[in-house]
Amino acid sequence: MNDFLSTCHAAVKASDGLPSGHPFHVVLGNEACDLDSMVSSLVYAYYLSKTRGDEEVLSVPLLNIRQGELLLRSDNVFLLRQAGLSPDFLLFRDQLDLAALRRAGRLRLTLVDQNVLPSSDADLEGAVVEVIDHHALERNPSPSCPITVETVGSCATLVTERLVHKAPHVLDQQLAQLLYATILTDCVNMAPAAGKVTAKDSQYVAALEARFPSLPPRAALFQALHNAKFDVSGEPHLCLDRLMSQLMMSSSSGLNTEQMLMKDMKMLKGSLSMAVSVLFLPIEAFLQRVELEAELCSFCHKLGLDLLVLMSISFTEAKQPVRELALFSHSAPCREQVSHFLERAGDPPLDLRPISSPHAHVAAYHQGNALASRKKLLPLLKDFLRARDGEDKDDEAEDEHGRVPPTPANSLVEGCPLDAGPPTISAHALHEKFSKMNPH
């Protein structure tokens, strides 16, 4: 795998700025670039390189983040090191101009862990030749683009299935460790109570274990990745070397507010622009950060957000998940409308119970339904935007995973774009729309 990644890196560097050359078959995950997106991209691109007969086309895994953002994903870095892969050979979104390749007719695109491109990448749509994903299907079928979409716990499960059945000779210990760790993480160590694992996930975890008996024990590997992601640092088994120790220092406790919000964030846009950031600590602890409200305002200003949703997950001593939710907006109507909608949500119910917030512009909740992850929250927010915008259920709110600009030297600015409030809508009209969508 390292040789493959090194070859990809060299080829991309050699083609930089050239108007012509060999085509690229890019395997692209989503912009959260979590373990699932990263590993699915790496492994599937490697699979294509070993099974496609066209030597003129270079299969390339591309991480859908900037190079400088990798350190924010400490569990990704940890797994790469555990598998013996060098982050130096990875390719990132800011290192390959997909739009230029598309204009030159040199781009083929396979989407993994996503099945539609965000509006910012709409010009790349014609280059999509395949989709492998485990989210709800939003893509229109096309004869020229095979689609594999199944509701499993991890996209890596579908990639594993492809290798096991189509190219078992390609699957080695290194790839198996990447896939195995990712499925365990996404499926919460295969615990049925977490509501993530499916029969197919279990089938292919068992298949990997049977073929590669030297894979790490499930519990130990899951705990190590859990520690890396949730910043339970200082454990000897996490410190693979001095570099790894330095990387682990970039986990949540050492991040500034903006980095914590960017670490795992997705955006939505309709008449309101929203973002949902996942935090890996109790919401009460996050709300105690010094100058937090000014930092949230600055963050929203920079990204043009009307509302920021904070979705926190932490764990009790008994390893039970605790989810909490907070909504920030300087516009009280905006904050209250979304809060009211989520409080009344029924598919799924979030079971929100208000908790104390030290900030006037932040509404905070304990989320009783611990199984309702961001994957379940995003459709609710899309429903809110459709209702607010007067759209039908079948119309999609725009996913706006646009490129987030680099942090300027002085990101704290005076004023906030939300002070004037969101576009007006009468309380009666909004109530009527909500009643139609949630009659209970």
Q: In sequence order, what DSSP letters do the residues of 45-102 get, joined into one string?
A: HHHHHHH---TTSEEEEEBSS-GGGGGG-HHHHHHHHHTT--GGG--BGGGS-HHHHH
Cα distance between residue 106 and residue 424, in whole Å: 46
What token pair was written down for 188? 């919460």
pLDDT at 54 over 50: yes
How does residue 403 score in pLDDT terms, banded at 50, 70 and 90?
very low
How does residue 39 score in pLDDT terms, banded at 50, 70 and 90?
very high
pLDDT at 120 over 80: yes
pLDDT at 439: 45
What token pair was written down for 20? 């012509």
> Are 267 and 234 in the same domain?
no
* Mean pLDDT to the nearest integer, 158-179: 98
pTM of the shown model: 0.69
pLDDT at 320 over 90: no
CB 296 within 8 A of CB 303: no
Cα distance between residue 322 and residue 281, in whole Å: 9
Most confident of 20-34, 37-51, 319-333: 37-51
Find the angle CA(366)-CA(352)-CA(264) to the nearest 5 degrees: 60
Q: Which residue has the tokens 């781009």?
A: 107
> Are 61 and 131 in the same domain?
yes
pLDDT at 427 over 70: no
> Are 266 and 221 in the same domain?
no
Select from 128, 110, 404, 427 the least CA-distant residue to 273.
404
What token pair was written down for 106? 């040199």
pLDDT at 273 over 70: yes
CB 182 within 8 A of CB 154: yes
Q: How far is CA 173 from CA 1, 50, 182, 211, in A?
A: 11, 16, 14, 9
Q: Domain for residue 222, yes or no? A: yes
* Mean pLDDT to the nearest integer, 272-276: 94
| One-letter amino acid for residue 215 of the chain | L
How many domains is the chain built from? 2
Q: Please tell me which residue, 390 or 376, carries the higher pLDDT value.
A: 376
* Mean pLDDT to the nearest integer, 417-440: 42
pLDDT at 308: 97
How does residue 65 score in pLDDT terms, banded at 50, 70 and 90?
very high
> Are 132 and 275 in the same domain?
no
| One-letter amino acid for residue 139 of the chain | R
pLDDT at 53: 75
pLDDT at 18: 64
> Are 201 and 305 in the same domain?
no
CATH number of residue 340's parent domain: 3.10.310.20
Select from 68, 74, 73, 38 the least CA-distant residue to 233.
74
How does residue 17 score in pLDDT terms, banded at 50, 70 and 90?
low
Select from 342, 357, 280, 267 the least CA-distant residue to 311.
280
Q: Domain for residue 250, yes or no? A: no
How does residue 19 score in pLDDT terms, banded at 50, 70 and 90?
low
> Are 226 and 325 in the same domain?
no
List residues bridging with 279 in a β-sheet.
Answer: 312
Minimum mean pLDDT range among 195-199, 212-216, 268-272, 387-391: 387-391
* Mean pLDDT to the nearest integer, 237-243: 36
Q: Which of 195, 222, 244 is the last residue of a domain?
A: 244
Looking only at the bridges linking them, the beta strands covering 398-399 and 265-269 are: antiparallel
pLDDT at 104: 93
> Are 414 and 295 in the same domain?
yes
pLDDT at 113: 97
Cα distance between residue 266 and residue 274, in whole Å: 9
Express as a percent the part of the chain with pLDDT over 70. 82
Q: Please tell me which residue, 52 or 393, carries the higher pLDDT value.
A: 52
Domain span holding position 59: 2-244
What is the chain's mean pLDDT, rounded?
Answer: 84
Q: Domain for residue 122, yes or no? A: yes
pLDDT at 239: 37
CATH number of residue 62's parent domain: 3.90.1640.10
* Mean pLDDT to the nearest integer, 230-242: 41
| One-letter amino acid for residue 235 of the chain | E
Q: Which residue has the tokens 């539609």?
A: 116
Q: Domain for residue 43, yes or no? A: yes
CB 298 within 8 A of CB 412: yes
pLDDT at 344: 95
CA max distance for the chain = 63
> Are 105 and 184 in the same domain?
yes
SS3 246: helix
CB 395 within 8 A of CB 277: no
Q: Which of 222, 244, 266 is the last residue of a domain?
A: 244
CB 389 within 8 A of CB 370: no
Q: Within its chain, how far is the Cα of 420 from the centroid?
A: 31
How does residue 264 score in pLDDT terms, banded at 50, 70 and 90?
confident
How many Cα atoms within 13 Å fall on the side-chain side of residue 6?
Answer: 5
Q: Domain for residue 129, yes or no? A: yes
* Mean pLDDT to the nearest integer, 356-376: 93
> Are 196 and 290 in the same domain?
no
> Are 178 and 263 in the same domain?
no
Q: Which of 183, 211, 244 is the last residue of a domain?
A: 244
Q: How far is CA 143 from CA 87, 130, 146, 162, in A?
A: 36, 10, 7, 20
Cis preceding linkage at 146, omega within 30: no
pLDDT at 314: 84
Select from 367, 378, 375, 311 the least CA-distant residue to 152.
375
Minimum mean pLDDT range among 162-166, 204-208, 305-309, 408-412: 408-412
Q: Domain for residue 418, yes or no? A: yes
Q: Domain for residue 378, yes or no? A: yes
pLDDT at 434: 43
What token pair was written down for 417? 């774009």
Q: Domain for residue 251, yes or no? A: no
Select from 19, 36, 258, 265 the least CA-distant residue to 134.
36
Neighbour count for residue 283 (Cβ, 10 Å): 25
SS3 116: coil
> Are 121 and 262 in the same domain?
no
pLDDT at 425: 43
> Are 234 and 300 in the same domain?
no
